[in-house]
Structure 1
Amino acid sequence: MFEISLAKIVSETNNLDLIGSDRIVSGFSSIVNADLHSIVWIKNYSFLHQLKNRNAVVLTEDCNVAEELRDQTSVLLAKSSSRFIVAQIHTVFFKKQDSFSKNYADEWRSNGFEIGDYAFIGPKVQLGQGTVVGPNVSLIDKVVISNNCIIQPNTVIGIKGLGLEWSGSHYLEFPQLGSVIIGTHSEIGPLSTIRKGALVDTTIGNHVMIGSLCNIGHNVTIGNAAILTSSICVSGSVSIGERVFLGVGSTIKNKVTIGDSATVGQGCVVVKDVAPNKTVVGNPARVL
């Protein structure tokens, strides 16, 4: 585990002030899992209500957040882009690579689970009863799969997303701290990728069907009984409602919301929100 003082972080990071006392921290945490020795990024005041543990160190660029918390905890106040500074601190002080050194697939097999040949299962994986993991599947990190799911061959779940910030000479990695949570009776098709969340979880509901060659970005939420056919790209922080149908080869821009029971046509490029019960087609998507 990494352990470093806030004072050292501030001394080696430009455009950052420490408000409050120094303490030892071990890395970044999501806003819902914060503890005394973690740093939480709160970009602005609208997110402050989500912080349940006000003993955690907060990094923000919002002076109103800093003012409200100054008598409760230590605050790292950014004088430039706080997202860039989060990536800088993570890369310099806390970055670690995904570990592939220990495969727990045989332990799951010994507990009666059906795990295909050459599957990789990392240490922070939970599988529900009746779930089947196909050959060559990789469940990398922080993956929770509920009961009676099927993970088809050559699929990767729990890999890091491309959360990057440009430093002027190289890329800095934004921390990827969330999990992938998959509900009951869902099926993930072959050769698909589901990326773990950054500061929140990537969440897939119950009875969701995802076909082959799909990419699900970090922080995506997919509602119950949604169908994603094949060769679909869902960018980061997209919200897909219940019973949504995504046609073959469709692409969803980051941070778009698709309402319940909407239909997205084959090859459609969705760049703005889709209302519930609507059908969209084309590039860019338009309502029929």
Structure 2
Amino acid sequence: MFRLADLAARVGAELLGDGEVRITHADTIQDATEGAICFLANSKYRHYLPTTGASAVILRREDAAQAQVAGLISDNPYLTYARVASLLYPVADMAGGVHASAVVDPDARIDPSAWVGPCAVIGKNVELQAGVRVGPGCVVEDASVIGENSRLVANVTICSGTVIGKRVLIHPGAVIGSDGFGNANDRGAWVKVPQIGIVRVGDDVEIGANTTVDRGALRDTVIGEGVRLDNQIQIAHNVQIGAHTAIAGCAGIAGSTSIGKYCTLGGGVGISGHLEIGDNVHFSGQSLVTRSFKEPGYYSGNLPAVPNSDWRKTIARIRRLESVMQRLSALEKQVMNQNTDNDAAEQD
């Protein structure tokens, strides 16, 4: 339980109303009850503000006049909510140690404050630094390093040689450092190309459930500090992702593409290989990126959904574009020839 005044001081927000209000949990603005704190970041939910059952609301100054309860005033209510929620729902502290069912190579170096959970496997020459948490069923293969206070939630696989920074959070089922898709063709048969690079993950990164980050073919795959990767993302070999870039679920990044800092990729974005994406570049969901975008900006590369009958008509027209272009070209030549003949007749 927190006093609202204490929360304001802890998160750097301005107090609105009674600072003695007790906050016990967080909830949505439309469903909140006594003891809850909610937030208003989207104007679509403003109509709930006068009637919310919450004890406090986080909101912008221009919305404060409509509030019927105490609150916290912030220029960025969602960010302030994130900080408040972190106080209300802290990560449970856990003593160091190794569960009896874990399998740990004798050459592994495990800090006394690190914890290794049930059925986890820790390979040879692995280093787990202070405060690391390796959850149930995780596998950390040989010569990998996991930095201070990083957490593998459960059933995470860290393949050999991977280097994980500090305060990294990796959700269940993620695979970091698997072989990239490298194959050479020998008269129709595929010959595997050894993948001899590793994956390097910077500090304060979060990697979602069932996301895969492939190791480099020659040079390393690098995930910069503060990057956010959602669930079920494919990051191919040798990809470089700059600091604080965020990528939504089901995106796919092909090999050897470089993505800059502070970029965002919507859900389902596909980026071809060997491209260069600059800093502060943003792609909307389902965009297909087949060329480099070096200049900052917002880009889209797909058509929005429409009724199926309209889509069929659009596709039919697209398929006729080549013949339409040929006819247009022929008409242009005909008009040019006619103009030439008219000019010649006038000169005569």
Q: Is the 8 A contact 1:148 1:185 kept in 2?
A: yes
1:104 aligns with 2:133: no
Amino acid paired to 2:122: Y
For 2:270 and 2:181, the matched residues in 1 are separated by: 17
For 1:278 and 1:207, the matched residues in 2 are separated by: 21
For 1:245 and 1:238, the matched residues in 2 are separated by: 15
- 1:121-163 alpha-carbon deviations (Å, 9 max, x no partner): 1012101001001101000122100111101110000000110
For 2:129 and 2:205, the matched residues in 1 are separated by: 23
For 1:272 and 1:110, the matched residues in 2 are separated by: 41
Pairing partner for 2:167 from 148, 152, 169: 148
- Structure 2 counterpart of 1:163: 182
For 1:115 and 1:105, the matched residues in 2 are separated by: 13
Find the residue that maps to 2:222 and give its secondary structure.
Answer: strand
Deviation at 1:168, TM superposition (A): 1.3
Find the residue that maps to 2:200 and give its secondary structure.
Answer: strand
Q: Is the 8 A contact 1:108 1:115 kept in 2?
A: no
- Structure 2 counterpart of 1:204: 223
Pairing partner for 1:278 from 278, 297, 307: 297
For 1:225 and 1:110, the matched residues in 2 are separated by: 24
- Structure 1 counterpart of 2:137: 118
- Structure 1 counterpart of 2:277: 258
Q: TM-score, normalised by structure 1?
A: 0.60
Change in 2 beyond 3 A, CA 1:169/1:249: closer
Q: Is the 8 A contact 1:105 1:115 kept in 2?
A: no
- Structure 2 counterpart of 1:234: 253
Larger Rg: 2
1:192 aligns with 2:211: yes
Amino acid paired to 2:239: V
RMSD over aligned Cα, in angstroms? 2.2
Deviation at 1:218, TM superposition (A): 0.2
Change in 2 beyond 3 A, CA 1:130/1:220: same
Amino acid paired to 1:104: I
Moved over 2 A (4+): 105-113
Q: Is the 8 A contact 2:174 2:211 kept in 1?
A: yes
Pairing partner for 2:158 from 136, 139, 153: 139
Change in 2 beyond 3 A, CA 1:109/1:118: farther
Change in 2 beyond 3 A, CA 1:188/1:110: closer
- 1:152-200 alpha-carbon deviations (Å, 9 max, x no partner): 1100000001100111142111121101001100110111000000010
Find the residue that maps to 1:165 and give its secondary structure.
Answer: strand
Change in 2 beyond 3 A, CA 1:175/1:109: closer
For 1:159 and 1:225, the matched residues in 2 are separated by: 23
- Structure 1 counterpart of 2:237: 218
For 2:201 and 2:215, the matched residues in 1 are separated by: 11
Amino acid paired to 2:165: S
- Structure 1 counterpart of 2:286: 267
Find the residue that maps to 1:166 and give its secondary structure.
Answer: strand
Change in 2 beyond 3 A, CA 1:109/1:261: closer
Deviation at 1:283, TM superposition (A): 3.7
For 1:113 and 1:105, the matched residues in 2 are separated by: 15
Q: Is the 8 A contact 1:249 1:268 kept in 2?
A: yes
Q: Is the 8 A contact 2:232 2:250 kept in 1?
A: yes
- Structure 2 counterpart of 1:88: none
Find the residue that maps to 2:213 and give its secondary structure.
Answer: strand
Q: When you count helix as a share of all residues, which structure comes out higher?
A: 2
Deviation at 1:110, TM superposition (A): 10
Q: Is the 8 A contact 2:127 2:144 kept in 1?
A: no
Pairing partner for 1:128 from 147, 156, 173: 147
Gaps of 5+ in 1: 1-100
Gaps of 5+ in 2: 1-103, 106-120, 304-348
Q: Is the 8 A contact 1:219 1:238 kept in 2?
A: yes
For 1:256 and 1:110, the matched residues in 2 are separated by: 35
Find the residue that maps to 2:145 and give its secondary structure.
Answer: strand
1:176 aligns with 2:195: yes
1:244 aligns with 2:263: yes
- 1:108-128 alpha-carbon deviations (Å, 9 max, x no partner): 779752111000110121010
Q: Percent identity?
A: 28
Q: TM-score, normalised by structure 2?
A: 0.50
